[in-house]
Amino acid sequence: MTAHPGCENGSLSINFCGIRFRSPIVLLSGCAGFGEEYTRVNGFSNRDAGAIVLKGTTLEPQLGNPPHRVWETPMGMLNAIGLQNPGVDAVIADILPKLDFSETRFIANVCGSTIDDYAELTRRFDDSPIDAIEINISCPNIKEGGISFGNYPEMSARVVAACRKATAKPIIAKLSPNQTDIQENARQCIEAGADGLAVINTIMGMAIDTETRRPIIGNVQGGLSGPAIRPIALLKVKQVYEVASKHGIPIIGQGGITTANDALEFIIAGSTTIGIGTALFYDPSVCKTINAGILEYLDKHGLTGLNKLIGSLELDEDMQDSAVSG
């Protein structure tokens, strides 16, 4: 296991894919820029997070989607930023050297239009100080008519397998909720070589300006995040844990987490770590608050760490997932 520089072996410390995180909190891709933007905000510290996932990176620079890119919804937010980034060469040469790797772990997020793109991006980051690589398989596949890689288990697995051959670093497959069978997708990604799973990515949605009768988001549709999706994300984590736990594969549970109790729900459902995204926009000090709340819970219940809490959801033997209608 790789120890974190300066990491204290406290109750919040957790092992994720063989890497020691000082906190179970992971700041999600696209929500903390390239790891240094929020350090300018008073009261924020990268040290309060176990890891930061960098903004999605492509082979070539991208300008992103036309405006509007962001729209606030009841208990949530739509975004269609469009992978705006300076390209992998600039990220490795100009951004990574400026990051303080003694503060936290840094995870790259790779996005491609073809399987070869993903493999090449992974190869580039393999020869960098980055701690792990998250594969954003929710990107559209331009060779297959623009369908998302992540919505089809076989295609997801092909991407993961190609990336696995390109690196010895831990690989995290970011699973889409916009698919029929997330458990099968998780199983195939694990068999293809994923070391961890991020559950879930945003849920596709849209908003309409009733006066103009036009979509508000310039890209027509965007990813919905925030508390509105939390119950969906929680169920998906529980379902994926049923598969991942058999293989010892850890999960980053994410989707609408804003409080310590939200985080604890995800951990009990099966998350080893928990992702914070939209909440950071409302409260840059939310990591401190969540860490403190988790520590209070552990003390209250006589727990010395998080391991016994992960996947501790209690179910009656006859309880089964069911769809209720009527």
Distance CA 255, CA 238 (A): 13
Give the CA distances from residue 222 to residues 65, 67, 207, 217, in Å, rounded to whole numbers and listed in that order. 10, 12, 9, 7
Task: Give me the catalytic one of 31, 111, 139, 163.
Answer: 139
Question: How many domains does the chain contain in total?
Answer: 1
Instruction: Phi first, then psi: give them for residue 189, nearest 5 degrees.
Output: -65, -40
User: Which domain CATH number covers 267?
Assistant: 3.20.20.70
3 within a domain of the structure (yes/no)? no
Please check whether residue 5 lies inside any domain of the structure: no
Q: Smallest Cα–Cα separation from 263: which of 283, 292, 285, 304?
A: 292
**141 part of a folded domain:** yes
CB 133 within 8 A of CB 125: yes
For residue 65, being part of any structural domain is answered with yes
State yes or no: pLDDT of 323 exceeds 50.
no
pLDDT at 43 exceeding the cut of 90? no
Average pLDDT over residues 17-31: 97
Residue 209 CB-density burial (10 A; 0-12 exposed, 13-18 middle, 19+ buried):
exposed
pLDDT at residue 7 tops 50: no
Structural domain including 48 reads 14-300
Residue 320 domain flag: no
Mean pLDDT of all residues in 10-21 = 96
Q: Which of 111-120, 213-222, 316-325 is the least confident region?
A: 316-325
**Six-digit token string for 111:** 């996005």
Q: Is 189 a catalytic residue?
A: no
- Residue 239, in any domain of the structure: yes
**pLDDT for the residue 87:** 98
Is residue 317 over pLDDT 90? no
**318 located within any domain:** no
Q: What's the pLDDT tens digit per position in 91-134? A: 999 999 999 999 999 999 999 999 999 999 999 999 999 999 99
- pLDDT tens, 264-307? 999 999 999 999 999 999 999 999 999 999 999 999 999 999 99
Size (the chain), residues = 326
DSSP annotation of 231 reads H
| pTM for the model | 0.94
Is 307 a member of any domain?
no
d(CA 133, CA 57): 11
